[in-house]
């Protein structure tokens, strides 16, 4: 079994010449609106090409279709070619727990105690166990912390998954624009830590702060993602974020 995986993306492989260690946990951190999921998708693309399966938790995307379109535009990957390799967990605050929606998606109230692990396990049953195994990737995971009732518990659950679960590989994108102290707890325990930032008008910068067991360059690089794509993802994220705020705050 592979112990490292190359992204196949030129600018990223220059910073990670030995690839990403697997299994491992990775956090892409930075202020809101700095294109973190677009970098995250480079790892998702590489994982699928290596024969692995992925479970997406797209909190800032209203549907899996937007994940598909972003992957196609950015990395030339058609997720329709990976049947049985891709599953989604869609956040649903109206549920007390979770339920299977179809052959590749689960609806779940991820902030409620105990649902996190059950939803991931259910999604994992939908995908194959070939290649490097399963990657769980999530965008805007910090949104779950807006639950006043369950904030501490979901933070503990995410932290323990990133620090201790070596049965899967995790890649999460989080915003530091809110709950910076809580996000720092996640930054402290992950194997691999990366940061993004944005400069006007639409210039995305990326750097690696820490990797587990592989050489890397700490040089900050401009990410060659078209400004139109960055603008599109920010618009989607902003509209979804506002709705998620109110949904999650109301959960009791």
pLDDT digits (tens), the chain, 252 positions: 569 999 999 999 999 999 999 999 999 999 988 889 889 999 999 999 999 999 999 887 766 777 888 888 888 999 999 999 999 999 998 899 999 999 999 999 999 999 999 999 999 999 999 899 999 999 989 999 999 999 999 999 999 999 999 999 999 999 998 899 999 999 999 999 999 999 988 889 999 999 999 999 999 999 988 877 777 777 766 666 666 666 776 776
pLDDT of residue 242: 64
Residue 113 makes CB contacts below 8 A (sequence gap 6+) with 150, 153
**Rounded (5°) CA angle 163-164-167:** 120
Segments in the chain forming alpha helices (H): 10-15, 36-49, 64-75, 115-124, 151-164, 180-189, 227-249
Structure tokens at 153: 């518990």
The dihedral sign for the CA sequence 92, 98, 101, 107: positive
DSSP state, residue 156: H
Closest by CA to 210, choosing from 13, 30, 28, is 28
| Domain spans of the chain, in order of start | 4-30+41-49+67-81+139-175+188-249
pLDDT of residue 71: 87
| pTM of structure | 0.93
DSSP 176-205: SSS-HHHHHHHHHH-SEEEEEEEETTTEEE
pLDDT of residue 73: 85
Phi-psi region of 243 (alpha: psi -120 to 50; beta: other; left: phi over 0): alpha
Residue 169 makes CB contacts below 8 A (sequence gap 6+) with 22, 23, 24, 25, 26, 47, 52, 132, 133, 134, 135, 136
Q: What is the distance of C-alpha 194 from the center of its chain?
A: 12
**Rounded (5°) CA angle 190-193-196:** 140
Q: What is d(CA 114, CA 50) in angstroms, rounded to the nearest whole number?
A: 31
- In this structure, which topology does domain 4-30+41-49+67-81+139-175+188-249 adopt according to CATH? Rossmann fold (3.40.50)
Is 99:119 a contact under the CB 8 Å cutoff? no
pLDDT of residue 237: 67
pLDDT of residue 1: 57
């Amino acid at each position: 079994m592979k112990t490292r995986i190359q992204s196949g993306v030129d600018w990223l492989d220059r910073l990670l010449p030995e690839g990403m260690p697997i299994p491992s946990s990775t956090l892409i951190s930075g202020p809101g609106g700095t294109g973190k999921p677009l970098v995250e998708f480079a790892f998702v693309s590489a994982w699928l090409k290596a024969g692995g399966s992925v479970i997406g938790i797209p909190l800032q995307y209203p549907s899996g279709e937007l994940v598909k379109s972003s992957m196609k535009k950015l990395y030339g990957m058609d997720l329709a070619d990976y049947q049985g390799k891709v599953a989604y967990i869609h956040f649903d605050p109206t549920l007390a727990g979770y339920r299977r929606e179809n052959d590749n998606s689960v609806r779940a109230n991820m902030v409620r105690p105990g649902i996190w692990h059950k939803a991931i396990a259910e999604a994992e049953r939908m995908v194959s166990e070939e290649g490097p195994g399963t990657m769980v990737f999530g965008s805007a995971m910090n949104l779950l912390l807006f639950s006043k009732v369950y904030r501490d518990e979901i933070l503990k659950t995410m932290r323990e998954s990133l620090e201790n679960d070596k049965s899967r590989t995790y890649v999460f994108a989080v915003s530091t624009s809110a709950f910076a102290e809580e996000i720092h707890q996640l930054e402290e325990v992950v194997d691999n830590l990366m940061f993004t930032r944005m400069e006007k008008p639409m210039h995305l910068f990326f750097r690696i702060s820490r990797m587990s067991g592989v050489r890397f360059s700490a040089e900050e690089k401009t990410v060659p993602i078209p400004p139109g794509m960055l603008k599109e993802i920010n618009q989607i994220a902003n509209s979804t974020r506002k709705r998620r705020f109110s949904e999650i705050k109301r959960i009791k």
